[in-house]
Structures are given as structure tokens and as C-alpha cells.
Amino acid sequence: MSGDAFHHGSSPRSTSSFIRVAALAAGLIVAVLVALWWTRIERRPAAGVVVATVERSSGAVHVDGEPIGPGGEVTAGAEISTASVAGGAPPRVALRLTDGQSLRLDAETVVRLASTRHAELAGGAVYVDSPPGGDLERRLDVVTSLGTVVEIGTQFEVRLDEAAGVLDVRVREGAVSVRREGRSVTASVGEGLTVRRDGSVSRHAVPVAGAEWDWVVELAPPLTVRGLTVADVSPRTAPAGRAAGGSARGGASGAAVWGAAGRVAVPAVTGG
């Protein structure tokens, strides 16, 4: 009788308790999944949401096949192309993302701007310049077939030769991490990384100023620098931080400057 009593009295109660606990757990799991799903949706701008504006351009620049110029808006998911046209100037473009970063495209480049966090580089070269001390939660990652370049610092170039299977990364300021298949390699200012399709990676020194950065400097947006110092605007405007009769050496780093990027006036400084 005691067994029957246990079976008919306590067992149903245990079963009922188990069902209630299971239902509660299932409800919590569903709530968590919905929250995660909503978070992912929130982080990906809907089609038609403006994520960047054209600041400067040269040559024939197209967004989703349509020509675009300064002031034009780029929406999430749009493809930007700087394919050359016979007889025309090398097409290049500088974009200002809504999160503040400057994204510049060299000639012969194709990029899909998925959001202000992700730029998918199909070929060519891009340069990323983020505000100093910016929130890394708002970093711009450059995704390629050979790896993802993750921003840690502020200024870097990513160049992809898809046909040759070569990805080149150059760091002008700050640092970046190149991630591929669960591995990562970090490069700091003045360093470059070459990643090949077979997974090999080589490191080399790169200059932070000079002719090879000219295309980047030419696309630099106008910058009011009145009251700042040479140190404040370099290397962002380098090698523009020179003036006839002046010097940018030694004590000049603390000298006041004025003007705009590409037209920076530096008072003459002696000594140093």
C-alpha cells in the first residue's frame, strides 16, 4: 500500500514539478535566443540606412553602379567601385563614416560597406583613419578572402591582390591584428604584414610618410588646425607639415600652425 500511495500520491506531484521547471527553462532559453537575435539585428543597419558620406573624390567613382561625388550618401550594403576609365583620372574616393572614421579607396578598388563596423574588400586598397582615442567598440574591420584586418589603432592600409592571393597590411599609426582561421598576427606602427593564400605571413618595416602614402594624403579631408601644434597634426598631414622658410625639425613640434590639411603653415623655428 505504501508503494501504491507513493505512486499515486507523490509521483504525479514530482512529474508536475518537473514539467513546470522544464517549461521555465525552455522559456528562459527562448528569451535568451530572442535577445541575441535582436542584438544582431540592431548591429546590422537595414538596407537604405546611410552609413557614410563622400568627402572627396576624383575620377569615376560608382556606388552600386551609379556615379557619385562629394556630398553623396552611401547606404548599408552598398558596393563602392573605383574602376579606371580609359583617358580619365585615377578614380579615388574618401568617405566619412557616420561613426567618424575616414575610409579612403585607392584606384581599382571594390568594397562593400556592410556597416560602419565592416568593410568587405574584394580587391584593391583601402586606408582607415579613425579618431585618436576612439571607442574600439566602433572600430572598422576590413574583411577579405585572406583574413580580417581588425583595427586596434588609428591609421592603416589594406591592399588585396585577389588574383595573386596576397594581402598586404601597412600600419601608419597605432596597431592592427590580422585574423584568419582562428589565428591572429599583430602589427604596430611602422610595420607591414604580407599574408599569402597558403597561410604564410611575413613581417617587414614600412615608412610612415613618403611618396607611397601620397594617394592617402591627397584624399585627406580639409582640417582646420589653427591653434594646434606640428605634433598635433603629424603624421596625419605629413608630409604636408612643411612651409617655405620654415622647419619641422627639433623644437618645431611645439610650434603653432594654421591652415588646412595640405596647406599647413609652420613658423620658422631655429635650433634643434
| Model confidence at 97: pLDDT above 60 | yes
Of residues 106 and 132, which shows the higher confidence score? 106
Q: What is the pLDDT of residue 28?
A: 54
Q: What is the mean pLDDT of the chain?
A: 76
Distance CA 49, CA 255 (A): 43
Of 12 and 215, the one with more pLDDT? 215
Q: What sign does the CA torsion over 98, 99, 102, 105 have?
A: negative
Query: Which one is predicted more confidently, 195 or 261?
Result: 195
Question: What pLDDT shows up at residue 85?
Answer: 79
Cα separation, 52 vs 49, whole angstroms: 9
CA dist 211 → 107, 122, 169, 214, 217 (Å): 16, 25, 17, 5, 10
Q: Using CA atoms, how far apart are residues 93 and 128, in angstroms rounded to an integer? A: 12
Beta bridge partners of 258: 265
* pLDDT band of 147, cuts 50, 70, 90: very high
Quickly list DSSP for 214-270: HHHHHTPPP---TTEEHHHHTTTSTTS---TT---SGGGGGSEEEEETTEEE-----
Residue-wise pLDDT for 31-67, tens only, equals 444 344 433 333 445 568 999 999 999 999 999 999 9
**Is pLDDT above 80 for 15?**
no
Q: Rounded to whole angstroms, how far apart are CA atoms 116 and 50?
A: 10
User: What per-residue confidence (pLDDT) applies to 4?
Assistant: 32
Kindly report the number of other CB atoms within 10 A of residue 110's CB atom: 18
Q: How confident is the model at residue 16 (pLDDT cuts 50, 70, 90)?
A: low
Q: Which residues pair with 147 in a beta bridge?
A: 144
Cell of 148: 580580417
Judged against a pLDDT cut of 80, whether residue 210 lies above it is answered with: yes
SS3 content of the chain, % helix, strand, coil (to 5): 25, 40, 40
Strands 147-151 and 175-180: antiparallel
The string of pLDDT tens digits covering residues 59-92 is 999 999 999 999 999 999 999 999 987 777 899 9
- Residue 266 reports pLDDT greater than 50: no
Of 235 and 268, the structure prediction assigns the larger pLDDT to: 235
At a CB cut-off of 8 Å and minimum separation 6, what does 83 contact? 60, 62, 91, 108, 110
Burial (Cβ within 10 Å: 0-12, 13-18, ≥19) of residue 180: middle
pLDDT tens digits, 217-239: 999 977 655 555 545 555 444 44
Count of other CB atoms within 10 angstroms of residue 146: 19
pLDDT given at position 119: 97
Could you tell me which of 97, 213, 84 has the C-alpha nearest to residue 159?
213
